[in-house]
Amino acid sequence: MSTSVTSGEPGTSSVEPSRPGGGTASRRLAGSPALRVIGRRVLIAIPVLWGVTFLTFIVLNALPGDAATALLGANATPAEIRAETIKLHLNESIWVRYWNWLVGLLHGNLGTSLYYNQPVTSILGQRIPVTLELVVYALVITFVVSVPLAIFSARRPRGVVDRASMVFSMASLSVAPYVLALLLILVFAVNLQWFPALAQGTGGDIRDLTLPAITLAIPLIGFYVRFLRADLLEQMSEDYTVTALAKGLSRWKVLSRHALRNSFIGLVTVIGLNLATLIGATVIVEQIFGLSGIGWELLRAINNRDVPLVEGIVLVFATIVVLVNLGTDLTYDVIDPRIRHGRSRS
């Protein structure tokens, strides 16, 4: 299954047999097809990254709407506007501006936030950890719940657990994140008072992060349970699972020890697909729960017409997506032993 970014099909890159006679692992790696594959993927990712930077800049700067006027407000005098325009370099052609920005980017300089008057990078540095914690928390919940649930479903197809989880999955994929968030707040914060509705601390407090993480996790669980269950069932119709059953293992063991290993490989390729939706949901969730992460900051920056900051955040998001997709492609190549070891026959 190919992922979007690198557009190469995992596993179909030219894999030549490793040197005859085997040899030590290090020797195998050095001349191995693995490095070649990695190199190729990275190479493909670069133009995509560039395209991302380009698109970001164009969208935020080439569209109608005068940043200077918006910043200064409707009451600004023409002179003030002109001064601001010059200060923001808005009078220069868009290509020049793009070039300057790109150069700065490559030096690690994302400009200065107009609102905060600090380097964009330092602001991002403060906000990213919060978002990171939230996302990691959500992913942990997701996998802790989806994997066993998928196994239970696959163990008895059409059984009670299976039907229930399919219904749940469909429902969770049809709920909008904002609706889900408010629902959870209504039940758990307002009525049961187990968790706060708005973040109390400055971020990092588990209690603050729990409801938001659950909000993010539920649609993900819906997706992954469905996917894993389908993949596990496919694995169960493969011959090797019959061999495993013939050893005297229970279905559960066969699913979790044999089928799951093979399904994970498929899972890795799918992770990247969800990323865009996850980011969108994160923006909404941070807003609703008052978490000061980059999603929340993005909305604020847009509101304040803080163009450099918006650029920086959008770039960060897009880069993450590209890198994650690249990472999953590479991981796929590594964890599938068939690809890792080439096709050597003794």
Partner 1 sequence: MAVPVADALSPGLPAGDVAAAGRFSRTRGALRTLEITIPAAVLLLLLFFCFVWPLIYPVPKPTGGSILDSGLPVGAPGHIFGTDNVGNDIMSRILYGGQVSFEVAAAVQAIGLVVGGALGVIAGYFGGPVDSVLMRVLDVFIAFPSLVLILAIVDSLGQSELNVIYALSVFSIPAFARISRAATLRLRDQPFVVAARLSSVKSWRIISGHLVPNMMPQLLTFSLLGAAVVIILEGALDFLGYGIPDPAPSWGKMIANGQTMLSVRPSLVIVPSIFLFVTVISLNLLGDGLRARWEVR
Partner 2 sequence: MTGPLGQRVRRRAAPSPAAPSAERDEPAHPGSGPGGTPLLEVSDLRVRFRSRGSVVNAVQGISFTIEPGQTLAIIGESGSGKTVSAYAMMGLLPRTAQVSGSIRFKGVEIVELGERALQDHRGRNVAMVFQNPERSLNPTMQIGAQITEAVRRHLPLGRQQAADRAVELLRMVRIPAPERRCHEYPHQLSGGMRQRVVIAIALACEPQLLIADEATTALDVTTQAQIMDLLLDLQQELGTALLMISHDLALAASYAEEVLVMYAGRVVERASARDLFDRVRMPYTRALIDAVPRADLEPHVLLPVIGGRPPDLSTVTPGCSFAPRCPDAQQDCRQQAPPLEEHEIGHWWACWHPCGSEAPGDA
Binding partner at 27 among partner 2, partner 1, none, C-beta below 5 to 8 Å by kind: none
Q: Quick one: tokens of 234?
A: 């496919």
- Chain-centre distance of CA 174, in angstroms? 20
Closest listed residue to residue 315, CA positions, set 143, 93, 152, 104? 104
336 binds partner 2 (CB under 8 A): yes
Binding partner at 334 among partner 1, partner 2, none, C-beta below 5 to 8 Å by kind: none
28 binds partner 2 (CB under 8 A): no
Q: Which of 243, 318, 326, 330 binds partner 2 (CB under 8 A)?
A: 243
Q: How far apart are CA 308 and CA 101, in angstroms?
A: 10
12 binds partner 1 (CB under 8 A): no
Q: How far apart are CA 262 and CA 111, in angstroms?
A: 46
Measured from the CB atom, the residue of 7 and 250 that comes closer to partner 2 is 250
Cβ neighbours of residue 256 under 8 Å, at least 6 residues apart? 151
Number of residues that bind partner 1 (CB under 8 A): 64
Measured from the CB atom, the residue of 28 and 155 that comes closer to partner 1 is 155
Residues 128-167 that bind partner 2 (CB under 8 A): none
158 binds partner 1 (CB under 8 A): yes
194 binds partner 2 (CB under 8 A): no
- CA angle 262/266/272 to nearest 5° reads 150
43 binds partner 1 (CB under 8 A): no
CB of 5 to partner 2, least distance (A): 25
Number of residues that bind partner 2 (CB under 8 A): 25
CB of 332 to partner 2, least distance (A): 12
Q: Which of 298, 309, 330, 339 binds partner 1 (CB under 8 A)?
A: 298
Cβ neighbours of residue 80 under 8 Å, at least 6 residues apart? 72
Q: Quick one: tokens of 256?
A: 């979790």
Tell me how crowded residue 99 is: count the other CB atoms within 10 A of its CB.
Answer: 13
Q: Quick one: tokens of 306?
A: 């803080």
Binding partner at 4 among partner 1, partner 2, none, C-beta below 5 to 8 Å by kind: partner 1
Q: Which of 87, 238, 280, 303 binds partner 2 (CB under 8 A)?
A: 238
Helix (H, G, I), strand (E, B) or coil at 209: helix
Measured from the CB atom, the residue of 254 and 298 that comes closer to partner 2 is 254
> Cα–Cα distances in Å, from 250 out to 245, 254, 255?
7, 6, 9
Cβ neighbours of residue 290 under 8 Å, at least 6 residues apart? 198, 199, 296
Q: Which stretch binds partner 1 (CB under 8 A): 81-89, 111-119, 165-173, 199-207?
A: 165-173
Lay out the site mask for partner 1 across 206-235 (x = CB under 8 A, - = otherwise): --------------------xx-xx--xx-
Q: Which of 44, 71, 245, 299 binds partner 2 (CB under 8 A)?
A: 245
Helix axes 160-174, 206-236, angle to 10 degrees: 130
Tell me how crowded residue 272 is: count the other CB atoms within 10 A of its CB.
Answer: 21
Q: How far apart are CA 244 and CA 255, in angstroms?
A: 10
Beta bridge partners of 170: none
Helix (H, G, I), strand (E, B) or coil at 117: coil
> Contact residues for partner 2 (CB under 8 A)?
238-240, 242-250, 257-258, 261-262, 265, 336-338, 341, 343-346
**Binding interface with partner 1 (CB under 8 A):** 4-7, 47-48, 51-52, 55, 59-60, 63-65, 157-158, 163, 166-167, 170-171, 173-179, 182-183, 185-186, 190, 226-227, 229-230, 233-234, 236-237, 241-242, 245, 275-277, 279-280, 283-284, 287-288, 298-299, 302, 310, 313-314, 317-318, 321-322, 325
